[in-house]
Structure 1
């Protein structure tokens, strides 16, 4: 192993793995530090049809089909009014989207990066990052250290490396996903995702490969806390009021109590720092799962990050220009996302509850304070929210 890697990617989810794969494919020495062993379930199971050309471009389409994903033929939504509206994926040009096991999907991408030449450490959490001459030294929880010329933060919504290096963060909402899984659901006729607006937020359900269904109530962290929605009984009460969703899952048994995952929209941005590091995927911009673009964004920004990383490694003197261009592109992406976000939520006018009033279109979104001890902070019910979960990105 090299004493100094060209790049160290912290986080082995889709954004980190795709960035590492692209860098390794160009002959760079790349280390990937993934704190999990891909042994825990990951939230977010439906990929949009446009994922296919992105996976083909990465050279992993055959690996993906080897996971035996379940075709997703479209969406049904109960949104602007109580009547369900259907949208077929056949009009996308790629026939269908895909319902997948996200843990298997993420592992597949990480293994592909390793096959391309990246060195993958699983069960390895980075706990410190500091400059070391013309490189970075990352301390790991197991006591060893890794040295690299460039660091890529792919730690998901928590943006651990970015925050440690002084990046600022704007948080635009308090959204959390209260997720469950049902077993024993016959999915033969259920190969679509369903969205249903409700007074306290909105519901998402989708089949899983095999006989199972995943479901989530998307609401705000303070509403979750005040309503005790992390407990099974209040969660079931809210489900019974979502008529179309409740009819879909019927009396299927829950595997476990609801688990809360952060789904807040956030932008982590560095300013005036020319040092060679980048953030990618949710660490740079995390979006509302309603957009259905989490994995797509991860794969697209990985391409941009790998390109910027190549310039930083080849021409260290251009770091200021390269970083500024990269951050500007993420700012533009954020602006487009916020406009789309306001439009989607603005379509729902049939509820006058706190969740929907907060999402009425404004001239510009007001960032929510990120201090978890402050009223209105994203992690208002911090003890109930898995803010470090990297899987609550793509629910559609």
Structure 2
């Protein structure tokens, strides 16, 4: 029989939401285990972080380390949306300074190491095999480097991102958005004299492009999955054809070389039917996923993780705890986001009769049942 290690909290998933919760909980003296399936080696599609990341990282004690990690400061965004003339959204008046283009792998890994330093037990390359709630405790079976391990926990935090947590219903999706991304290597600084993120709308969706740290760059076509070619071999031609319809994105990408293969990732807006239950909470993308256009994903994840940790810590690890306030806060944030998302998409009317834009315009309202 496997030895069962008992923790106050077990966290499934080592993205920014899970690691932020682990750091915060460990600092209260709670015993914490965090299980992350990877070693943070694969390419992770990130985003530009707004200046509001600074107070969150300061709260986690990670701001100075972040500043020294080689991420690129970003003065703002350039948007070509609603008409062919670009406009700027600068951070010059933000009290926290510039935004940031991040190396997502490095960023996630640094938060996991910070969780370890705070006292959490972080298990890399660890897959969740089974999760059950029995006799007022969570029992978790995982596989680390091929070896089975068993944990027992008073509380469980679901930070599995877009993966399905077995103790919740299927997520509710509001669209079918995907990103078709290409990473570029060996991009010289002079090839991109503007570190601002570029957003450019097109007939089939919109483009996102940015310089990344360490001589990298990224260009992403955001569109609906059913609008992509059925045959994978036709995807590259479709991506390039759409790129040719841009004005400003193609001017950037033409300077970039040494590209990797295209990568498709899920970017759908979704929410969980419940953000918490009997001694468990969902955080970050496991609770709700936002359109990358909002540029809120990572900031939302860290904020969720911190708030979830405070909700558990303030309960004094009681089995009778209620997470109503946590639920209401997440629900309110998601409702605000969906309203803002609709208003922004509604501003682009050049292709209002095409499928992508019709699906996002008109009288849309988020109702939580």
Asked if Structure 1 and Structure 2 have the same fold, meaning a TM-score greater than 0.5 normalized by the shorter chain, the answer is: yes
1:145 aligns with 2:146: no
Q: Distance in 2 between matches of 1:230 and 1:7?
A: 46
Q: Distance in 2 between matches of 1:343 and 1:227?
A: 34
Matches within 5 A, 1:119-158: 119-141=121-143, 142=146, 143-158=148-163
Residues 289 and 45 (structure 1), Cα distance of their counterparts in 2 relative to 1, 3 Å cut: closer
Q: What is residue 291 of structure 1 aligned with on the other side?
A: 294
The range that moved more, 276-285 or 142-151, is: 142-151
Aligned with 2:308: secondary structure?
Answer: helix
- In 2, are the aligned partners of 1:155 and 1:282 still within 8 Å (CA)? yes
Matches within 5 A, 1:1-396: 3-141=5-143, 142=146, 143-158=148-163, 160-161=164-165, 164-188=166-190, 189-226=193-230, 231-270=235-274, 274-317=277-320, 319=321, 322-351=322-351, 352-365=353-366
Shift of 1:187: 3.3
The range that moved more, 200-209 or 298-307, is: 298-307
Q: Distance in 1 between matches of 2:215 and 2:278?
A: 49
Q: Distance in 2 between matches of 1:125 and 1:313?
A: 29
Residues 328 and 242 (structure 1), Cα distance of their counterparts in 2 relative to 1, 3 Å cut: same
Aligned with 2:21: secondary structure?
Answer: helix
TM-score for the superposition, normalised by structure 1 = 0.86
Q: Distance in 2 between matches of 1:229 and 1:193?
A: 29
The range that moved more, 111-120 or 85-94, is: 85-94
Residues 344 and 174 (structure 1), Cα distance of their counterparts in 2 relative to 1, 3 Å cut: same
Aligned with 2:41: secondary structure?
Answer: coil
Deviations 1:270-310 (A, max 9, x none): 28x74100000110011000001111101111121011111
Q: Distance in 2 between matches of 1:144 and 1:314?
A: 24
Residues 2 and 127 (structure 1), Cα distance of their counterparts in 2 relative to 1, 3 Å cut: closer
Aligned with 1:125: secondary structure?
Answer: strand
Structure 1: 4+ residue segments shifted above 6 A? none
Residues 347 and 34 (structure 1), Cα distance of their counterparts in 2 relative to 1, 3 Å cut: same
Shift of 1:186: 3.0
Shift of 1:257: 2.1
Residues 314 and 140 (structure 1), Cα distance of their counterparts in 2 relative to 1, 3 Å cut: closer
- In 2, are the aligned partners of 1:229 and 1:235 still within 8 Å (CA)? no
User: Tell me, which stretches of 5 or more residues in structure 1 are unaligned?
Assistant: 368-396
Q: What is residue 390 of structure 1 aligned with on the other side?
A: none
- In 2, are the aligned partners of 1:276 and 1:312 still within 8 Å (CA)? no
**Aligned CA-pair RMSD:** 2.0
The range that moved more, 37-46 or 141-150, is: 141-150
Residues 136 and 314 (structure 1), Cα distance of their counterparts in 2 relative to 1, 3 Å cut: closer
Between Structure 1 and Structure 2, the one with more helix by share is 1
Shift of 1:326: 1.7
Q: Distance in 2 between matches of 1:150 and 1:109?
A: 21
Residues 168 and 232 (structure 1), Cα distance of their counterparts in 2 relative to 1, 3 Å cut: closer
Aligned with 2:5: secondary structure?
Answer: coil
Shift of 1:226: 4.5
TM-score for the superposition, normalised by structure 2 = 0.93
Aligned with 1:20: secondary structure?
Answer: helix
Deviations 1:343-380 (A, max 9, x none): 1101100012100000003242589xxxxxxxxxxxxx
Aligned with 1:4: secondary structure?
Answer: strand
Q: Distance in 2 between matches of 1:362 and 1:138?
A: 44
Residues 361 and 165 (structure 1), Cα distance of their counterparts in 2 relative to 1, 3 Å cut: same
- In 2, are the aligned partners of 1:128 and 1:139 still within 8 Å (CA)? yes
- In 2, are the aligned partners of 1:149 and 1:313 still within 8 Å (CA)? no
Shift of 1:330: 1.4
Shift of 1:231: 2.3
